[in-house]
């Protein structure tokens, strides 16, 4: 566990992306194992749960669900400043949503002063379409080779790789890679507030050692 997390026993994960890509659906699927097909606009919601590490330590996890529907630059920058790790979500059937992820990543680097905090890029709605191979190849090349970040394809609807997104985020901040099954019964949500892999060793790595 990193020293900063150990000292405060609290981390914040921030979900960013365009409107309608499924940020809220991924969070609700993870926390509550529910899925709402109808899209509802989110301004900002903060969720809270606890994580039990393999060492038995308790860490509070805040999951910040940000808006993709409204343009609040000051709020977005504040969200970026407060986050320890970021999930950048796009829809696999919408190339434009990946361009928004590209811009959000640049903004995070600017806000964090190029310190390159942990990021996981999430291609949601895998259930909708078969990903265009050219689009997928372009995304994979950009995310894994240029940005040196993790790329996970998900479906909140079918509960595909949803937990893996959160595992990857925790791995990126060097927390042990296990979610306690007993902990899932104790999850709570506070609305409107709030196999491990070694880090890649490349230039501009998004991993924190």
Q: What is the mean pLDDT for each group of 10 consecutive residues in the chain (209 residues)? A: 54 94 94 82 83 78 85 85 95 93 95 87 85 74 93 94 93 68 39 36 32
Q: What is the pLDDT of residue 38?
A: 74
Is position 80 within any domain? yes
Query: Do 70 and 18 contact (CB within 8 A), yes or no?
Result: no
Q: What is the pLDDT of residue 70?
A: 66
Is position 25 within any domain? yes
What is the helix (H) or strand (E) element at residue 15, kind and residue range? strand 10-17
Inter-CA distances, 198 with 15, 64, 133, 174, Å: 23, 26, 28, 10
Is position 200 within any domain? no
Inter-CA distances, 110 with 77, 80, 100, 115, 208, Å: 10, 10, 15, 9, 17
CB contact burial 55-93 (16+ within 10 A = b; e otherwise): eeeebebbbbbbbbeeeeeeebeebbeebbbbbbbbbbb
Determine the Cα angle at 198 with ends 196 and 200, to 5°.
Answer: 135
pTM of the model: 0.79
Structural domain span for residue 16? 3-186
Q: What is the pLDDT of residue 156?
A: 94
Is position 72 within any domain? yes
Is position 191 within any domain? no
Is position 105 within any domain? yes
Q: Determine how many CB atoms are found less than 10 A away from the CB of residue 171.
A: 22
Determine the Cα angle at 35 with ends 192 and 46, to 5°.
Answer: 20
H helical segments located in the chain: 3-8, 23-32, 73-82, 95-111, 133-140, 162-172
Question: In the chain, how many domains are there?
Answer: 1
Is position 115 within any domain? yes
What is the helix (H) or strand (E) element at residue 17, kind and residue range? strand 10-17
Q: What is the pLDDT of residue 176?
A: 63
Is position 194 within any domain? no
CATH number at residue 30: 3.40.50.300
């Amino acid at each position: 566990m990193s020293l900063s997390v150990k000292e405060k026993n609290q981390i914040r994960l921030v979900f960013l992306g365009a409107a309608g890509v499924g940020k809220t659906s991924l969070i609700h699927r993870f926390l509550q194992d529910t899925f709402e097909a109808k899209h509802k606009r989110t301004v900002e919601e903060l969720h809270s749960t606890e994580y039990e590490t393999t060492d038995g330590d308790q860490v509070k996890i805040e999951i910040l669900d940000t808006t993709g529907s409204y343009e609040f630059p000051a709020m977005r920058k504040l969200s970026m400043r407060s986050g320890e790790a970021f999930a950048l979500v796009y829809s696999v059937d919408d190339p434009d949503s990946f361009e928004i992820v590209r811009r959000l990543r640049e903004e995070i680097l600017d806000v964090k002063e190029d310190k390159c905090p942990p990021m996981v890029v999430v291609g949601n709605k895998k259930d909708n379409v078969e990903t265009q191979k050219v689009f997928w190849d372009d995304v994979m090349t950009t995310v894994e080779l240029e940005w040196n970040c993790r790329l996970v394809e998900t479906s909140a609807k079918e509960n595909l790789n949803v937990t893996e997104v959160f595992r990857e985020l925790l791995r990126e901040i060097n927390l042990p890679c296990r979610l306690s099954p007993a902990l899932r019964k104790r999850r709570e949500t506070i609305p409107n507030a709030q196999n491990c892999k070694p880090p890649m060793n490349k230039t501009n790595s998004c991993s924190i050692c």
